[in-house]
Chain A
């Protein structure tokens, strides 16, 4: 019987290695609780999700642009960009539109519900490089959601950055997100430009495409080549026009960042569902500089 092979157990060998290297933590989910829910529009809600264990909550650190996998046991798991400030650590805010099975179920959940959080995953916007520079935050529709985290991080240290512009376009005034925070952002000397595709009766702001807003901003400076960074997030068609316009205005491709959306089933570079060409959006993205995106086939 001595030829019975020795069983190699991979379980229970946690060595304190970083979770990226530790196989034991592959399927580990942080228990979390929905502490509050703000309806923002008819279909989007802002969920405050807090990691229950105070120590784990404090140890949870992320950078703006990264995402988490939100798990509803028995329903599914899906990736969401974090829209809260990184200083709040494991006290997260996720803005989620009810659009599929998972998010529609989530929309029916109430405060106090227990969920699971895994992450953070992916690359981030390099805010450290952006210090001392002007920043253009350009968002279309739900694209404002991943922009809110870098924006809040900038507000934490407002004096370290130059002029900060937000250009935000939505289909209609009813679909504008975070409206209650616009005044607060303006108080921090953020130039806020908002445009909608289709105005309603009460709308006093501007109507038109986001590229018109951007055109005006570009005219105010001679060139974007020096000391400007841009973060762009929105539907693929918007990327196309906005990035082209920024390039023409002289902004170098490596100073323009985009956040891409793909289907994901693991977040850990294993399921291949998020591959663009063959680049994993979950490991090498979701934040890419425009140069990398240009080199990715079928990215935008």
Chain B
């Protein structure tokens, strides 16, 4: 990897250079009921709108690669025949200015299942390949357990990753485009002092984690505790609203619906992201539901994240961002659920 350092004020220049593209970044979106500032990813037109010191966005960046609703194909229909038109809905590159390591890792995990497995999904791949990602370091929030999940630092999946050294940014460069771009602003090779500062910054970050999940042997423990009463306890609390999947950076389950236009000449096939916590998730025609209780659905969500994905790809699907716990109306958080399944109070 190639490293560079540049002064903080050069960042505005970097944004200016990239502003010929569509730039998406974290922006402030008011306060929550406790007066805590809320952030979300949105299109940014002015560098001053960017809130690069953001804590965590409410929603994950997944909607830019996996829209909540997307038209997969359209049909021209007549009495005798039909014709299908497929559009992958990829039109232009997108610059992501300021993505935390957990979200970068989330995209890497989505790549495994959506782009690198059998039947690669072109709707996702097209959008993902056209992302230019500038990562930025973060300060751990109380809900973050990314360190437990091994996703507190990103080693691939971005173009350049910035760490604030106080007055200077330390840049890890992963792509030729990013290298070329940094060549246009004033930046230097890091000195020994910069490297020491960088190590100090990462060490300092590690001290701030409060939430954690014990992941050793978790796949086996989940298998052993399939009938654990803990699932019923959390299932009873769960409102089956699907908010966790909505904010999750790696939930990719979906449903497909088709609609006929009022003119009866056209039809469309639409994909909407779904949640395995919603009651109709595993319901088949005829009315049988394979997961009728909220406990069984909540359990399935944890099994998919922490066991099934590990079986298939040797790593967990959870990145430990803690958004699901923050958004949950019933205060269900993964560290608590996993601890109780492990039998710890």
Residues on A facing B (Cβ under 8 Å): 1, 3-11, 19-24, 26-29, 31, 72-78, 99-103, 114, 116, 261-263, 265-266, 268-273, 275-279, 283, 297-298
In the complex, what's the smallest C-beta–C-beta distance from B26 to chain A, in angstroms?
20
Does B20 sit within 8 A of A, measured CB to CB?
Answer: yes
A100 touches B309 (CB 8 A): no
B281 touches A100 (CB 8 A): no
Given known A270-B252, A278-B311, contact A23–B122 (CB-CB < 8 A) = yes
Q: Which residues of A contact B296 (CB under 8 A)?
A: 298
In the complex, what's the smallest C-beta–C-beta distance from B302 to chain A, in angstroms?
10
In the complex, what's the smallest C-beta–C-beta distance from B227 to chain A, in angstroms?
9
Residues on B facing A (Cβ under 8 Å): 17-18, 20-21, 72-73, 75, 77, 80-82, 84, 86, 88, 90, 92-93, 95, 113-114, 117-123, 125-126, 129-130, 132, 177, 181, 184, 223, 226, 252-260, 267-269, 274, 276, 281-286, 290-291, 296, 300, 303-304, 307-309, 311-312
Closest to A24 in B: B122
B256 touches A279 (CB 8 A): no
Closest to A299 in B: B290
Q: Which residues of B contact A272 (CB under 8 A)?
A: 252-254, 276, 304
A271 touches B126 (CB 8 A): no
Report which of A74, A75, A271 forms a contact with B255, defined as CB distance below 8 A: A271
Q: Which residues of A contact B73 (CB under 8 A)?
A: 27
Q: Which residues of B contact A31 (CB under 8 A)?
A: 81-82
Q: How far is the CA of A71 from the CA of B82 in the complex (A)?
A: 11
Given contacts A7-B92, A31-B81, could you give 19 more A-B pairs where the C-beta distance is less than 8 Å? A1-B20, A3-B17, A3-B20, A5-B21, A10-B122, A19-B119, A27-B84, A28-B86, A74-B267, A77-B258, A78-B285, A114-B80, A261-B284, A263-B281, A263-B290, A266-B254, A270-B252, A278-B311, A298-B290
Q: How far is the CA of A278 from the CA of B93 in the complex (A)?
A: 33
In the complex, what's the smallest C-beta–C-beta distance from B96 to chain A, in angstroms?
11
A103 touches B253 (CB 8 A): no
Can you list 14 A-B contacts (CB < 8 A)? A4-B20, A5-B93, A27-B122, A76-B256, A99-B286, A103-B285, A265-B255, A270-B119, A271-B253, A272-B252, A273-B255, A277-B300, A277-B303, A297-B303
Question: 4 smallest A-B Cβ distances: which pairs?
Answer: A278-B308, A100-B285, A74-B267, A268-B119
What secondary structure prevails in chain A residues at the interface with B?
A: loop
Q: Which residues of A contact B276 (CB under 8 A)?
A: 272, 275
Closest to B269 in A: A77
B303 touches A20 (CB 8 A): no
Q: How far is the CA of A73 from the CA of B86 in the complex (A)?
A: 13
B84 touches A29 (CB 8 A): yes
B226 touches A297 (CB 8 A): yes
B132 touches A26 (CB 8 A): no
In the complex, what's the smallest C-beta–C-beta distance from B281 to chain A, in angstroms?
7
In the complex, what's the smallest C-beta–C-beta distance from B65 to chain A, in angstroms?
13
B86 touches A273 (CB 8 A): no
A3 touches B181 (CB 8 A): yes
In the complex, what's the smallest C-beta–C-beta distance from A109 to chain B, in angstroms?
12
Given known A21-B118, A272-B252, A277-B308, contact A6–B93 (CB-CB < 8 A) = yes
Q: Which residues of B contact A73 (CB under 8 A)?
A: 75, 77, 82, 84, 258, 267
A5 touches B267 (CB 8 A): no
Given known A8-B130, A270-B121, A273-B255, contact A278–B282 (CB-CB < 8 A) = no
Q: Which residues of B contact A29 (CB under 8 A)?
A: 84
Q: How far is the CA of A203 from the CA of B94 in the complex (A)?
A: 69
In the complex, what's the smallest C-beta–C-beta distance from A148 to chain B, in angstroms?
20
Closest to B18 in A: A3
Q: Which residues of B contact A275 (CB under 8 A)?
A: 276, 300, 304, 308
Q: Which residues of B contact A270 (CB under 8 A)?
A: 113-114, 119, 121, 252, 254
Report which of A5, A101, A114, A298 forms a contact with B177, defined as CB distance below 8 A: A5
In the complex, what's the smallest C-beta–C-beta distance from B280 to chain A, in angstroms?
9
A269 touches B117 (CB 8 A): yes
Q: Which residues of A contact B20 (CB under 8 A)?
A: 1, 3-4
Q: Which residues of A contact B95 (CB under 8 A)?
A: 5
Closest to B306 in A: A278
